[in-house]
């Protein structure tokens, strides 16, 4: 590169204010750009990328037709810029000039003309403002959107290609029938987020959030600032989130919230109601699984955005069931029959694994088993499809543990104990799925987020042999897939100057584009209908189609773990009393009575009874 060329490049886009300066069009077009960016649908992005690919191939053919050609730098550079933008990849002045196909000086002049015309936007890459990345403006994106539509229509008119596209299918989404579309990667924000020291996020140390951590650099490119992520186990996450709420100023911009914590965090003022800080329509609420979106509410207000919707299912080995001539177990009775048949300790194989470790793990198991027998852990009013947990903020509830159906649930757990591995009483979230993956267990209750343990390991015994069912139901009850997972929320004590960045990051991290990216890199959780319907996502795992089916059948429910402020204490109580039952220290009836008394006392202490 000559000295003159290097000087030109260093001054590219600095905006000195002189007549020859390129300036910073962000100052002039920002409002319009944001509106346009938000309106660019996944279908539009798909069509633009397809047309760009077609034009590239067509140009290659033309270049081979005649020896005499002259490149159009405006088209070449705008096509390159739009394609990189939709793929969430950075464009520097050097790379854009290199894509022009014309000499350096000519390309530099053409880029300046496009900036002056409002077609290219510049974004500072450093605090000094001496280095810029380049992005298509709203006008350029709109031009390519319209052009892509015209190209499709012209092709259909000229070649008769008006038949249905092979990569689409009908599905029910947000109350309307639409064609499933391939969702594109997250788009780079046109203006970087202003978060001094980077965006700080507190999360759970599960596979999905670890996937997000692995994509850290890509999301830093998208939002334009560094990301710092801290991950804890579920109990330590709760402790740190509560401790953070007591600080004068939050250490985090976003925090992960387990669904049962919503009531406590909302009532204690730990997190902000989202409708106070953003227009929730920007989140496209109808695209979330109904149960997942409902679980984010307290007092009819949203306090977080579903980052993971991960129902607990029954995983079963289809190959072992076929060899034994067994049907998939849709009831608790059939599950026990299958567990007995497949339980072969002498051969190192056990019937079933589940959460039976003392405390939080077993507490969750008990309240979800109560749901399998048609009873919530609180006296919730009945409604179509189960029970209504939407009015809990009014405080009119009491524990429902020591009941006939509670006894059925306790006795069912005692029956499962007979067909479980010898270390079952210390098994929790991950320990129950590992032996299932390696072939030591024929069935396991597990959240979908744990499916990567066997779906992505070709060497494990369960690889390619797993079926998915909602929880088998007891007598007089319907199948239920209890919804688990995490919301992303904004701490109430976030410094005011960081709030805008937190809101925009929240929208990015929970968008369909981001959710699909998590899935492509190993996540098996998904809170959105559009992502589950994406043809590329469906090909990655049968779990998405299975969960969507459960959602349509109204089997995904969040009432089994009602998010009242006292639920953590109730879960802990159940995890202690029923662990003593499983150890043989007390009978099922004694455990039920003790758990009921202790849970009642918790509500009395809270002034609810």
pLDDT band at 252 (very low <50, low <70, confident <90, very high): very high
- Do β-strands 301-302 and 297-298 pair in parallel, antiparallel, or remain unpaired? antiparallel
* Phi then psi dihedrals of residue 237, to 5 deg: -60, -45
Stretch 397-415: mean pLDDT: 97
Q: Hunting for tokens 């944001």 — which residue is that?
A: 34
pLDDT in tens, 502-532: 999 999 999 999 999 999 999 999 899 999 8
- Do β-strands 485-489 and 254-258 pair in parallel, antiparallel, or remain unpaired? antiparallel
- Do β-strands 466-469 and 386-387 pair in parallel, antiparallel, or remain unpaired? unpaired
- pLDDT score recorded for residue 84: 82
- pLDDT score recorded for residue 33: 34
Task: Look at 32-46, 284-298, 403-417 and tell me which has the smallest mean pLDDT.
Answer: 32-46
d(CA 348, CA 369): 27
Stretch 302-329: mean pLDDT: 96
- Write out the two tokens for 20: 């020859």
- pLDDT score recorded for residue 69: 67
Stretch 184-213: mean pLDDT: 90
Tell me the torsion sign for CA atoms 285, 198, 515, 31: positive
- pLDDT score recorded for residue 45: 66
147 vs 178: which has the higher pLDDT: 147
For residue 12, pLDDT beyond 50: no
- pLDDT score recorded for residue 508: 96
19 vs 411: which has the higher pLDDT: 411
d(CA 579, CA 414): 10
Residue 378, strand partner residues: 399
Stretch 466-485: mean pLDDT: 95
pLDDT in tens, 95-118: 888 888 888 889 899 999 999 998
For residue 175, pLDDT beyond 80: no
pLDDT band at 14 (very low <50, low <70, confident <90, very high): very low
Tell me the torsion sign for CA atoms 126, 129, 131, 137: positive
d(CA 363, CA 574): 5
348 vs 163: which has the higher pLDDT: 348
Q: Hunting for tokens 């429910």 — which residue is that?
A: 557
Mean pLDDT rounded to a whole number for the chain: 85
Count CB neighbours of 416 within 10 A: 24
For residue 340, pLDDT beyond 90: yes
- pLDDT score recorded for residue 161: 47
pTM of the model: 0.71
- pLDDT score recorded for residue 127: 63
Stretch 218-244: mean pLDDT: 94
For residue 169, pLDDT beyond 90: no
- pLDDT score recorded for residue 427: 95
397 vs 146: which has the higher pLDDT: 397
Q: Please, how many CA atoms are within 13 Å of residue 301, restricted to the half-sphere of its CB? A: 17
- pLDDT score recorded for residue 40: 53
For residue 168, pLDDT beyond 80: no
d(CA 314, CA 145): 45
- Write out the two tokens for 432: 């129950």
209 vs 363: which has the higher pLDDT: 363
- Top mean-pLDDT range of 132-141, 147-156, 192-201: 192-201
pLDDT in tens, 372-389: 999 999 999 998 778 999
On the 0-12 / 13-18 / 19+ scale of CB atoms within 10 A, 319 is: middle
Count CB neighbours of 264 within 10 A: 21
pLDDT band at 32 (very low <50, low <70, confident <90, very high): very low
pLDDT band at 72 (very low <50, low <70, confident <90, very high): confident
403 vs 80: which has the higher pLDDT: 403
386 vs 243: which has the higher pLDDT: 243
Q: Which residues contact 145 (CB under 8 A, 6 or more apart)?
A: 40, 44, 47, 48
> Domains along the chain?
3-159 (1.10.10.10), 199-309+484-544 (3.40.190.10), 312-482+566-605 (3.40.190.10)
For residue 479, pLDDT beyond 90: yes
Percent of the chain residues past pLDDT 70, beyond the cut: 85
pLDDT in tens, 534-581: 999 999 999 998 998 898 888 999 999 999 999 999 999 999 999 999
For residue 358, pLDDT beyond 60: yes
pLDDT in tens, 485-510: 999 999 999 999 999 999 999 999 99
d(CA 51, CA 540): 26
d(CA 232, CA 251): 15
d(CA 44, CA 78): 17
For residue 160, pLDDT beyond 90: no
């Amino acid at each position: 590169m000559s000295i003159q060329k290097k000087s030109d490049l260093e001054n590219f886009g600095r905006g000195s204010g002189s007549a020859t300066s390129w300036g910073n069009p962000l100052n002039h077009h920002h409002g319009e750009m944001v509106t346009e960016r938000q309106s660019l649908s996944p279908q539009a992005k798909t069509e633009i990328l397809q047309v760009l690919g077609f034009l590239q191939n067509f140009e290659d053919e033309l270049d081979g037709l005649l020896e005499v050609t002259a490149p159009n730098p405006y088209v070449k550079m705008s096509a390159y810029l739009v394609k990189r933008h939709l793929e969430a990849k950075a464009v520097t002045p050097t790379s854009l000039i290199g894509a022009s196909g014309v000499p350096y000086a000519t390309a530099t002049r053409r880029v300046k003309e496009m900036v002056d015309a409002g077609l290219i936007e510049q974004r500072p890459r450093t605090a000094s403002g001496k280095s810029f990345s380049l992005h298509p403006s709203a006008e350029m994106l709109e031009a390519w959107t319209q052009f892509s539509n015209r190209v499709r229509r012209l092709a259909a008119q000229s070649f008769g290609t008006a038949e249905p596209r092979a990569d689409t299918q009908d599905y029910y989404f947000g109350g309307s029938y639409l064609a499933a579309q391939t969702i594109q990667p997250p788009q780079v924000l046109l203006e970087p987020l202003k978060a001094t020291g980077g965006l700080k996020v507190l999360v759970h140390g599960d596979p999905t959030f670890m996937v997000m951590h692995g994509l850290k650099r890509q999301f830093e490119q998208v939002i334009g600032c560094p990301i710092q992520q801290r991950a804890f186990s579920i109990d330590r996450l709760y402790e740190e989130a509560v401790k953070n709420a007591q600080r004068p100023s939050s250490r985090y911009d976003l925090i992960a919230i387990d669904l049962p914590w919503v009531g406590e965090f909302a009532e204690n003022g730990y997190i902000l109601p989202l409708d106070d800080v953003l227009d929730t329509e920007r989140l496209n609420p109808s695209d979330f699984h109904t149960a997942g979106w409902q679980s984010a509410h307290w007092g009819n207000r949203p306090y977080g955005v579903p980052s993971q919707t991960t129902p607990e299912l029954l995983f079963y080995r289809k190959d072992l069931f076929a060899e034994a001539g067994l049907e998939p177990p849709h009831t608790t009775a059939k599950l026990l029959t299958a567990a007995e048949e497949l339980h072969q300790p002498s051969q190192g194989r056990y019937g079933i694994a589940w959460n039976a470790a003392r405390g939080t793990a077993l507490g969750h198991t008990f309240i979800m088993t109560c749901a399998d027998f048609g009873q919530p852990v609180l006296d919730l009013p009945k409604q179509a499809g189960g029970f209504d947990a939407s009015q809990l903020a009014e405080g009119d509830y009491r524990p429902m543990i020591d009941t006939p159906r509670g006894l059925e649930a306790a006795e069912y757990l005692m029956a499962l104990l007979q067909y479980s591995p010898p270390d079952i009483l210390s098994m929790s979230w991950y320990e129950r799925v590992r032996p299932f993956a390696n072939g030591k267990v024929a069935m396991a209750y597990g959240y979908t987020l744990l499916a990567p343990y066997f779906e992505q390991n070709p060497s494990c015994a369960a690889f390619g042999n797993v079926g998915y069912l909602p929880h088998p139901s007891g007598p007089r009850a319907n199948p239920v897939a209890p919804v688990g997972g995490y919301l992303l929320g904004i701490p109430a004590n976030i410094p005011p100057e960081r709030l805008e960045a937190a809101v925009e990051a929240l929208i990015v991290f929970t968008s369909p584009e981001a959710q699909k990216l998590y899935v492509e890199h190993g996540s098996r959780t998904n809170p959105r209908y559009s992502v589950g319907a994406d043809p590329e996502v469906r090909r990655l795992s049968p779990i998405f189609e299975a969960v969507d089916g459960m959602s349509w059948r109204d089997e995904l429910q969040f009432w089994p773990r009602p998010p009242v402020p006292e639920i953590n204490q109730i879960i802990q109580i159940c995890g202690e009393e029923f662990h003593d039952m499983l150890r043989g220290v007390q009978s099922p009836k004694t455990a039920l009575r003790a758990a009921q008394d202790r849970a009642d006392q918790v509500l009395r202490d809270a002034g609810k009874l």
